[in-house]
Structure 1
C-alpha cells in the first residue's frame, strides 16, 4: 500500500480564520500559485471543491491542469444537475487533455437548502443516494462500453448512449456515513473519503465499507481529510491551534453565526460533531473548529511538530488510510509548509515501515 497526498485549491486564499467577504470570489493568482506550489511540494492530487454558489470545479481544474505537468485533480461533482452521459464525456475529456490526471469526487448532497439553490427542491436524501448510485453506473458504462447501450432506470433513461472518448483511469471517490451512502460506496467507490475522526471511529468506518465492498468483489482505498497544525515545538503547535479556534470563534460571532447548538443535516457531520464533544481526542486530534462550525466539512486536524504529526498519520495508515487530504487554515502558506516539512517525512516513515513488513514476511 502506497501513501498519497491530496491538497486543496479553493477559489481564493481564505479560510475560516479570514474575512472571506474581502476577497475576490475567484482569485486567479491564488489558483495559479496553489497549483504550482502543491505540484512542487509533492502532492499527488488537489481537491477542487463544489458548492451551489461557487465557481465551477471542472473549469478551475482545466485551468490548473494547463499550468502544471504532474499534479492530479480530484474534481468534486454533484449528481442531479448534469446528465450523466454528458458528465462522463466532460470528465473523460478533461482527463485526456490533462494526460490522465483526473479523479472525480461524487458529492451526493446532504443539505436540502444547498440542493434547492440549484433547483433540486423535491428529492429526499435517501433518494439522492439512489440517484448517485444510478449516476455512477452510467458514468462507468460510458467510460467502458465499446458499443452504444440503452439505460432505463428510476432517474435516467438513455437510448444508444456512447462516449467516443474514454478516460485513461479515472478513480471515483465517494463519501457519506448513512447506511444508504455505505451501500453506494461499496458498489462504486475506488476510494472512500472520511473526515478526521478518532482512530477507533476511522477503523470502524474502514471495516464497515470493506464489508460493503466485499459483497461486490471490490477492495477500495480510503482517504482521510485533516487540517494539520504544525510548528517547531509541540507547545508552539498547540498555541497556534488554540489561536485558530479563537479566531474562528471571533469571526463567527462578528458575522452573527452560531458557535454552539448545531444540528447538522447529514450523518457525516453529525458523527464529526459527536467526535468534537471534547476539543482534543486521541493524542493529537484537535476538534475545536468542528465544535464551533457544527462540523461543516473538513474541520479537524492533527497538532504537533512535523515529526509528531507524521507519526500520528502513520497510525491512520496502519488501519487502512492510504490517501491523506490535508489543507491548512492559511491555505497557500500551509500547503507550502506541508510540502516542505510533512509530506517527505510521512513518505519516508511509510517507506521504512513497509520495508520492515516485507523483510519480516520474507
Structure 2
C-alpha cells in the first residue's frame, strides 16, 4: 500500500514573530495571545495547498477552544478533490450513533475520503472545559463501549440494541452508511496499557508517540502483539514530527538553531509559555513519559527535540529534503504506513498579510514529499511486502 503522507489543518492565519529571517517559520511554534477568529479562506487554502503539495491526508485536531471538527472537515472536503480528512474525535462529547452518522455523511458526500482518530483528551483540564469529568481510566473504559456502538452504526443493515455501563441503545440503525467498506478507518493513540488495549481491540491504525528511531520498534512490537492476541492486524501512524528544511543539511541545522533563538526571544519579549494542558499529540501519561525521551537531539538521524521541549509542538526532523526523506524511510521500514510531515505545510499568513515563508520553502516541502514517496515505493518493490492495515 502506498505511504500515506499527512499534514495538519490550520484554522486561521499566523503573523510573523518578528521581521527577522526566522520570524515566519517560528510563528508555527508559538501561539498568539489573541489569535484571530477562524478564517474560512485559510481552512480552504490549507486543504487545497496540501492536496497540490502531494499530501494524501490532513488531520483536523480537536481541543475545547477549537472550531467544530465535523464542520471543519466538511469545509475541507468540499474544497478539495482527492485528499482524505482524518477527523479527531473526543469520545463522550456526542452519542456514538450521532457521531457515526456524522462520519458516514461526510464519507458519502466526499466519495469516501474520511478517517477518524479517536482521542481521550490530552488532559483532564481540557476535558473538564467540555463538561466531561470522568478520569482517564474511565474514559478508556467508556471508549470500548462507544466504539462497539459506533462501529455497529457504521455497518449495521438491521436495527440493533446495546446495553453497557455507559450506553444503552435500542433499535439503532442508520439510513446513511459510508462509502468506504466496511467503514472508514479508525485510529487511536495511547502508550499506556489501557491505550494499547483499546487500539488492539478496535483500531485499524495505532498513532505512535514521536520518539527517536531506536525507541520505536519496542512499542510497535508491543501493540502488534496485543492486536495479534485478538486475531487482528494493525497499522501504524507516526503523527508528531515537524520538519525544518534547507537545501543542505548544514543550512537546515543553522535554520533550526535560528528558529529556536527566535522562539526564545519571542518568549522573553511576550512572556509566552505553551499551555501544558494541551500538549500536541500526547494521549496519556505513558506518552508524556516517552515525550521526555524525545527531547535529546540526534543529528545523525535528523532528530531535533529542543523546539518541542520549548513549545510542546513535538520534535522536528532537520535536514535537506533528501536527508529528511531518508529519516522517514527508516520509520517506514518499521511498518509505519502513515507519516505526518508537520509544520512546513501549516504556515498560513493572516488574510491580506505577507506570506510567512518564501517560495523556496514550498519547493523544499514538495521535494521532500516526492522523495519520501519515491523511497517508500522503491522499498515496497524491493521487499514485495506492502504496509497494510487490518
Instruction: Work out whether the TM-score is over 0.5.
Output: yes
Whether the 8 Å contact between 1:95 and 1:101 is mirrored in structure 2 is: yes
Task: Identify which range, 283-292 or 7-16, moves more after superposition.
Answer: 7-16
Shift of 1:233: 0.9
Q: Equivalent residue for 2:19?
A: none
Q: Equivalent residue for 1:188?
A: 202
Q: Secondary structure at the match of 1:141?
A: helix
Query: For the residues of structure 1 that align with 2:176 and 2:111, how far apart are their CA atoms?
Result: 13
Whether the 8 Å contact between 2:12 and 2:43 is mirrored in structure 1 is: yes
Query: For the residues of structure 2 that align with 1:184 and 1:130, how far apart are their CA atoms?
Result: 8
RMSD of the alignment, in Å?
2.4
Query: For the residues of structure 2 that align with 1:267 and 1:228, how far apart are their CA atoms?
Result: 24
Q: Equivalent residue for 1:279?
A: 297
Q: Secondary structure at the match of 1:228?
A: strand
Q: Equivalent residue for 1:141?
A: 152
Tell me: CA distance 1:84–1:329, structure 2 relative to 1, closer, same or farther (3 Å).
same
Aligned length: 353
Tell me: CA distance 1:191–1:110, structure 2 relative to 1, closer, same or farther (3 Å).
same
Query: For the residues of structure 1 that align with 2:171 and 2:248, how far apart are their CA atoms?
Result: 62
Query: For the residues of structure 1 that align with 2:242 and 2:117, how far apart are their CA atoms?
Result: 19
Whether the 8 Å contact between 1:174 and 1:189 is mirrored in structure 2 is: yes
Whether the 8 Å contact between 1:37 and 1:336 is mirrored in structure 2 is: no
Q: Equivalent residue for 2:70?
A: 58
Q: TM-score, normalised by structure 2?
A: 0.85
Shift of 1:97: 0.7
The alignment status of 1:150 with 2:176, answered yes or no, reads: no
Tell me: CA distance 1:20–1:201, structure 2 relative to 1, closer, same or farther (3 Å).
same
Shift of 1:327: 1.4
Q: Equivalent residue for 1:321?
A: 336
Shift of 1:168: 2.0
Q: After the TM superposition, which residues 148-297 of structure 1 pair with which residues of structure 2 at under 5 Å, given as runs? A: 148-169=159-180, 170-225=184-239, 226-257=241-272, 266-276=285-295, 278-280=296-298, 283-293=301-311, 296=312
Tell me: CA distance 1:157–1:250, structure 2 relative to 1, closer, same or farther (3 Å).
farther
Query: For the residues of structure 1 that align with 2:277 and 2:198, how far apart are their CA atoms?
Result: 27
Q: Equivalent residue for 2:96?
A: 84
Q: Equivalent residue for 1:344?
A: 370
Query: For the residues of structure 2 that align with 1:53 and 1:291, how far apart are their CA atoms?
Result: 23
Equivalent of residue 112 in structure 2, options 100, 104, 110: 100
Tell me: CA distance 1:216–1:19, structure 2 relative to 1, closer, same or farther (3 Å).
closer
Q: Equivalent residue for 2:37?
A: 25
Displaced runs of 4 or more, over 6 A: 261-265
Q: TM-score, normalised by structure 1?
A: 0.91
The alignment status of 1:355 with 2:381, answered yes or no, reads: yes
Shift of 1:102: 0.6
Unaligned 5+ segments in structure 2 are 15-26, 349-356, 386-390
Shift of 1:336: 3.8
Shift of 1:59: 0.3
Whether the 8 Å contact between 1:7 and 1:326 is mirrored in structure 2 is: yes
Whether the 8 Å contact between 1:17 and 1:251 is mirrored in structure 2 is: no
Q: Which has the higher contact order (CA 8 A, sep 6+)?
A: 2
Unaligned 5+ segments in structure 1 are none
